[in-house]
Structure 1
Amino acid sequence: MSDIKKNILAALAYFDLFNYPLTMDEVFLNLPIKCEQQELEFALSCLVSDRVIYHFGKFYTLKNDYFLIERRLNGNAKAEEMIGIAKQVGDFLVRFPYVRGIAISGSLSKNFADESSDIDLFIITAKNRLWLARTIMHCFKKLTFLVNKHQYFCMNYYIDEKELQIREKNIYTAIEIATLMPLHGDTVFEQFYIANAWTREYLPNKCLRLTTAEPLKKTWLKSFTEMLFNNWLGNKIDNLLLKISAKRWLKNVELKKLNDKGIIMGMDCGKHHSKPDPRFFQEKLIGKYQSKISQLLDHLESSVAH
């Protein structure tokens, strides 16, 4: 089998883990190699003819199941509605102290949502003030539980301007970075994408969404609050909040507490980041992805041999 066909299968296999068919353009954007459009079209048609993959309208999938197409179309329609809400949430949260950038992440950034979907947000803060910013924002989030709106404020991934490069470099983080939908902070996201140029090794055809982020707008309350903590006291409080949070999350892992999605509630805490612990979802997903590709290629080679 040609390299282009293997890479097409790899792209489809990743999104098949989420039961998400791809269009031809999406297959192209998620290929780990560069190729010409004509070459891609020919390889796709061959794979369809050989019944290795399936073609429904404009979508390609590994499974001969039209329900996946209906699921995607419904999910795309729901996502359009939720992205509108996410933009309003971003407009509000960007007013919080030390917030420098906000983007939509997770499944919503890939234009999919269902009735159980949350609005996942990726936050960039001012350097050395991540824990102050995060604590203030999460104190507010506790209030949203009172009105059952907490699913709109899933601020689960923070980094600060001091360390913009994502440490884990793999297919999962590359896709997550490339599919972010920046809402606010055009300058900081430009710096973020430069710091994470390594994603092109995994997705050389992917264009980053720089134009979607709006410039930051200063407010007197945000500026005044930041002025109060731009000193030794702010440094001390930020370090204390990190220490308290890290201890609490370590206890959650030891007790094996689960979130609403059945994943252990583990966070990777550091001075310049707060994010879900890669051990409890990311690494497992990559393992499933690699196993799926291996099984798929073994099955195809066995079929050709016979």
Structure 2
Amino acid sequence: MSLGFSILQTLKYSDYFGFPLTLEEIHLRLIGVHSSRPILVHTINQMLIKRLIEQSGNYYHLPSHSGLVARRHTRAKLSASLITRARSLASRLARLPGVLAIYLTGSLALDNGDDTSDIDLMIITQRGRLWTTRLLLTLATSLLGLRRTPTSHHNSGKLCLNLYLTPSSYLLPSPRRSLYTAYELIQAIPLYDPHNTNSALLAANPWIHSYLPNFPLPTPTGSDPEGRAQPRQYSVRGGSDPIGRTIESLCYRLQLLYMHGKLTREYITPNSAFFHPHDPGKIILHKLTLLK
């Protein structure tokens, strides 16, 4: 893939979300090709001369799509209150047993939400606690009316807890590795992360470089990404003791039973839960015929 083609593909992908990019964003989000900044700037200037792309202020976009710049500014303002809400809710949810970290994902992580956006969250739980913690989070958000459900009519500001991982499952499985998930990982904003799971999570997924070779990934440290010392004593016993393992196994089986007949292409294991029935990235790439 040539650098010019990569730049065009990168802008096409972001254009699908109505999101023009700055020079720095193009450099970090460049699809499939590694490039130094000077060479990138030179190539972009050549593409501007040939009118293959356009520039509006600090933003680059496809030809005749300059209106996306104003849209990006508008969406950034609309996103601000929802991100504030997300931080507030995350601080409350973090008090529940087993929660190791909470990340904001999706459009809001890019300040690209609108007045109908829900709040997508990725939850990192302690080892052996995923399904116990998920049950507690589901009950809490449902009782408080915070959780988005399939039958919800007004989803603005509702929580969508659609991805759960533990330190044992930081490395995403092959079926879940795609350009879309690579972007999701590098864009995710830690709302609660006292143990710096973000560095460990990114370092555990070097495959990201096969899609986004310019993005700087942390170097694996070899230390326990969860931390040896526990931050607090929990009322629900963890997965390292017999009672905790029994509770976790029961929670896993009960939730699998509840989800039976409802699952389509979700990816569920004892240590991970991907509640995206369809990979949006594959749908987007197919529509735009970006990559094979």
- Per the alignment, do residues 146 and 108 of structure 1 end up closer, same or farther by CA in structure 2, a change over 3 Å counting? closer
How far is the alpha carbon of 1:165 from its aligned partner?
A: 0.8
Q: Residue in 1 aligned with 2:223?
A: none
Q: Residue in 1 aligned with 2:202?
A: 193
Q: Residue in 1 aligned with 2:235?
A: 225
What amino acid does structure 1 have at the position aligned with 2:115? E
Aligned residues: 274
Q: Find the partner of 1:241 among 245, 251, 262.
A: 251
More helix by share: 1
Q: Residue in 2 aligned with 1:179?
A: 187
CA-based RMSD: 2.9
Instruction: Note the alpha carbon deviations across 1:134-159, whole angstroms, 9 max, x for none.
Output: 01001011123289898342221101
Rounded to whole Å, the distance in 2 between the matches of 1:229 and 1:169 is 28
Rounded to whole Å, the distance in 2 between the matches of 1:92 and 1:146 is 12
Contact 1:13–1:62 at 8 Å: present in 2 too? Answer: yes
How far is the alpha carbon of 1:110 from its aligned partner?
A: 1.6
The alignment partner of 1:225 has SS state of: coil
TM-score, normalised by the number of residues in structure 2: 0.83
Runs of at least 5 residues in structure 2 that lack an aligned partner in the other structure:
148-153, 220-226
The alignment partner of 1:145 has SS state of: coil
Q: Residue in 2 aligned with 1:29?
A: 28
Contact 1:127–1:161 at 8 Å: present in 2 too? Answer: yes
TM-score, normalised by the number of residues in structure 1: 0.79
Q: Residue in 1 aligned with 2:101?
A: 101
How far is the alpha carbon of 1:209 from its aligned partner?
A: 9.2
Runs of at least 5 residues in structure 1 that lack an aligned partner in the other structure:
255-265, 295-306
Rounded to whole Å, the distance in 2 between the matches of 1:198 and 1:228 is 31
How far is the alpha carbon of 1:252 from its aligned partner?
A: 2.2
Q: Residue in 1 aligned with 2:150?
A: none
Q: Residue in 1 aligned with 2:283?
A: 284
Q: Residue in 1 aligned with 2:272?
A: 273
Rounded to whole Å, the distance in 2 between the matches of 1:209 and 1:226 is 33
Rounded to whole Å, the distance in 2 between the matches of 1:237 and 1:285 is 40
Q: Residue in 1 aligned with 2:162?
A: 156
Identity percentage over the alignment?
A: 25
Q: Residue in 1 aligned with 2:126?
A: 126
Instruction: Note the alpha carbon deviations across 1:142-198, whole angstroms, 9 max, x for none.
Output: 123289898342221101122211112221111111111113233333322221122
Q: Deviating runs (4+, > 3 A) in structure 1?
A: 146-152, 207-210, 215-219, 226-231, 247-250, 277-283
The alignment partner of 1:97 has SS state of: coil
The structure showing larger relative contact order (alpha-carbon pairs under 8 Å, at least 6 residues apart) is: 2
Q: Residue in 2 aligned with 1:91?
A: 91
